[in-house]
Amino acid sequence: MKYILVLLLTVSCSSIKQLDTELEPKGTTNDGGIVGLKSGEAVIMNKTAADDELRVVQWKNFQLENDLNHEYHMTKWCYEDLSDPRLGGNGELSKMPPMNTIKKAVAVKEELGLEGDKLIVLKQSSFRDQLQVEKDYTKSLNVMLSEVKQTKQECERKMGVARVKAGLPSKRQKGEVKFSPNGVVEEVLKIQEKSLDDAFKTKQEMAIGERNIASEKEDNKESGEGSPTESETLEKSDTPVSE
């Protein structure tokens, strides 16, 4: 015998009233609303199917959750970098602000019984309650997202100062690649910085490169050999000739 789980959102007909949707239309709005006259007053009316309204709010919350998780991850990364002794930290991670975005639970009535010859578990909850919970959750997510963004901004400002003091660029290096005309990656110009180790490795490689260039120039001067560098050629070509 198969067990089937059924979840229903119920709306009590006795508590749902008939709505007056009659309107003398006079125009429309950009979001699909109808502008018209009702009882002598100008109003804007929007009608949405109940299931669509819930679906839109749930999808919006899903996107907000993703944004919040991303911003929280970036904030935590910033806190971790600031705790690094190479940026003046003491090695201990500062306490992160908590994410207080707990969604309230909707009361669910659960029953075990038969539907024809099938044994099912039937769960029912109030549609009105579920819709309100989702809308309240939207407000909570927006508030928390704003707070986390502000915390991240303050942390990244401090981190920028600390990075400059350590001889690094104020911001993390972003990856950069060169594409061919047909969209194929030809060359990696800059490696994406994924950690402070990457930043200090890039700094070390640049320092080695600068020393090598300086050493090569010094050797050329001592031997009196070698062609002028590109920068030297440009400097000479830019020098005005006195008449």
Tell me how far apart the alpha carbons of residues 156 and 171 are, in angstroms, rounded to a whole number: 8
pLDDT along the chain (243 residues), means of 10: 44 66 81 81 84 94 95 94 93 80 83 90 90 93 93 95 93 86 82 87 81 78 60 50 46
> Could you tell me the residue ranges of all domains in the chain?
1-8+46-169, 172-223
Q: 108-117, long-range: CB within 8 Å, 24+ apart, which pairs?
A: 115/4, 115/6
pLDDT at 241: 47
pLDDT at 86: 93
Tell me how far apart the alpha carbons of residues 142 and 151 are, in angstroms, rounded to a whole number: 14
pTM beyond 0.85: no
- The 10 Å Cβ neighbour count of residue 114 is 8
Tell me how far apart the alpha carbons of residues 152 and 77 are, in angstroms, rounded to a whole number: 9
